[in-house]
Amino acid sequence: MKILTAPRMERCIGCHSCSLACARLVHKNLSWNTAGIRIGSSGGLSTGFEARTCLACDPAPCAAACPTGAYSQRRGGGVVVRKKLCIRCGACAAACPVDAIFLAADGEPFVCIHCGRCVPFCPHDCLEHTEIGGEASEASPVEGGAA
């Protein structure tokens, strides 16, 4: 199984290329707010940037909090998202310990699914899609489309 990590954020220039790639390729939107990875200042103009993304918790508190099963535990950490089951209650975002789930104005949640599609879009090689544990999961982490 692979997870997304951001081990070289000192290189980040805050261009949001990773967020835009995620929003466009995974969620079929064109806004860095509708992405599973969001980039923000780590405190001020001279302090650099941080990547806000899912930590692949195991067990995942967002999955435990979801009343409909739209979020379910992915083997090895993180979640599988079935947006068609989501009732947009926000329980997942409230349960996330690192504020990695963004809720759109209509309550639609966006979270990193560790697909790695953002990695090649980072111009400064800040991100990695790292193998952890045993074999990678064969199941797609997003079912039923992103919208």
N-to-C CA span, the chain: 25
Tokens of 69: 């099963």
- Domains of the chain by start residue, with CATH: 2-139 (3.30.70.20)
pTM, rounded to two decimals: 0.81
For 121-133, the pLDDT digits (tens) are 999 999 999 988 7
Task: Kindly tell me if the per-residue pLDDT of 146 is higher than 80.
Answer: no
